[in-house]
Structure 1
Amino acid sequence: MGYFNNNTGYPKDLLASRAVIKRENYALIPTDGLVKNIVPGFEECDVTILSSPKLGASFVDYIVTMQPNGRNEAGYGEAGVETFVYVIDGNVKASAGDQAFNLSTGGYLYCPPGKLMYLKNENGGKNSQLFLYKRKYSPLAGHEPIVVSDNVNNLENIQYEGMSNVILKDLLPKDLGFDMNMHILSFEPGASHGYIETHIQEHGAYILTGAGMYNLDNDWMPVKKGDYIFMAAYCLQAGYAVGDQPFSYIYSKDCNRDAEL
């Protein structure tokens, strides 16, 4: 199994953790304490499962470290399941059926249900790190999703709720065929949400840069690059940047569907 951060032996401090797990509500999961999992299909890859239905999520998030010959040639996904990959660092060849894409840092690929995702590290003998996601797709009559691939550097910068120092990027189309979206939200130093949010959507968020303070169900806690946050439906949530660099994270959001009874 092994630890994600590859630290071995006894720590030089107290046996303690910043992790907070409140199932069906929220979780803050720092790098320390995460483990590597063996997931069928992933060869020469360190796969860490971040959130799952066991935590209360309707999706599964992962961090995947692809070693120089890392790959998934069996195909990732299954019937009725949509998948998404974002390249945190490195270069990866990704395929959706017969469509191939070269993804560098900031690149991503969405595969609708019925399209398996194939991945191969092509980073010149170095590791690549990925943020990976899967979720059961909620179909809507007359609409269906399509394969989407791009790089965040090509996307429009949207002022979040009209605030020039908080920038949003939408990674997937605003189309009823999609029952979820992926976003990157970036706060300049000192910037924050305009209010504490409370809504039906749930999120899985991986912090890409910087540090901040985050409100999770009215518990304020420090967070930083490499931390993972799960927010269940109706979990109060907001954050602000601290330090001298932007605080940014990639996160999923379910959308475009009515609430079920």
Structure 2
Amino acid sequence: MPSRTYHVPQGGHPAQTELLSGRAVFTNAYAVIPNSVQRDIVVSHLPHWDNTRVWVLARPLSGFAETFSHYLMEVAPRGGSELPEPDKGAEGALFVAGGKLSLKLADRERELRPGGFAYLPPGSAWSLRNRGSSPAHVHWIRKLYQRVPGLAEPDVIVTNEDSLPPSPMPDTDGRWTTTRFIDPTDIRYDMHINIVTFEPGASIPFTETHVMEHGLYVLEGKAVYRLNQDWVEVEAGDYMWLRAFCPQACYAGGPGRFRYLLYKDVNRHMVLRPFRAA
């Protein structure tokens, strides 16, 4: 099994000698939040979370990424929450990038180590604690679940990337693979969380344009990513928002693998709002 790394933010503050220019980009089609801006000055704190700080990477914005929020959380020893989710209609997904966390769900406690994943259906009673001696880092993706009459609600999922065989994309000789934490054929789930891996030199060989919104956090490596009409260099720790229908492609620049954690909304009708004349 190949070794894996999961980038975590370093925090701290930039030196007064650093240049003000950087790679951050915000457009009407996409945004890039580089790892260099994930510093102490932009952390947030959440109600009912102890000894925890948060980098908010994505939040619903009208006309942009409307379906989800994405937190990257640093949980100090003895930190965590007994009341993590304030919205009973929200589903969640956790992905541990560093350290270990104890997830209590339905009166059962499970340890999540790096690569660990949990899907939490709406209304789940869960808590999360760092019982170790070093900080832990976890991605938390939240979305309002879209219920469908006659369709059962999704099940809890707790697993680890190590337990899931990656699926090669056809006609790529295994150089482009996807590790799927949620079964893509199970229509009860209205979001998917995947890890996409490119070997050096592999690519998305066409410009994808589709309805799914994307949040991409680069776990490892570097690449040149096509976002709308621009080619943007990205590396481990960078985050990309892609609005629905934003054209995208990718070329993995090497020398190592390029891997990212991917969110997308799926499996539901488009919400239609009545037209109102001015």
TM-score between the two structures when normalised by the length of structure 2: 0.87
> 1:161 is paired with a residue of what secondary structure?
coil
CA contact (8 A) 2:35 2:236 kept: no
Candidates 144, 152, 171, aligned match of 2:181: 171
Gaps of 5+ in 1: none
How far does the alpha carbon of each residue in 1:171-218 deviate from its partner, in whole angstroms, 9 at most, with x for none?
A: 012311101110000000000113110000011111000000001102
How far is 1:67 from its partner? 1.1
Pairing 1:17–2:22 present: yes
Question: How many pairs are equivalent?
Answer: 256
Distance 2:36 2:109 in 1: 35
Structure 1 partner of 2:45: 38
CA RMSD of aligned residues (A): 1.6
How far is 1:9 from its partner? 4.7
Comparing both structures, which one devotes a greater share of its residues to strand? 1
The amino acid of 1:26's aligned partner reads Y
The amino acid of 1:209's aligned partner reads E
How far is 1:166 from its partner? 0.7
TM-score between the two structures when normalised by the length of structure 1: 0.93
Gaps of 5+ in 2: 1-8, 273-278
Pairing 1:155–2:161 present: no
Q: Which runs of 4+ in 1 moved over 6 A?
A: none
The amino acid of 1:6's aligned partner reads G
> 1:162 is paired with a residue of what secondary structure?
coil
Sequence identity percentage? 32
Structure 2 partner of 1:134: 142
> 2:88 is paired with a residue of what secondary structure?
coil
Structure 1 partner of 2:275: none
Distance 2:158 2:81 in 1: 18
Distance 1:185 1:255 in 2: 17
Structure 2 partner of 1:110: 119
How far does the alpha carbon of each residue in 1:28-62 deviate from its partner, in whole angstroms, 9 at most, with x for none?
A: 00122231101112211121101111372210001
Distance 1:197 1:161 in 2: 16
Pairing 1:190–2:201 present: yes
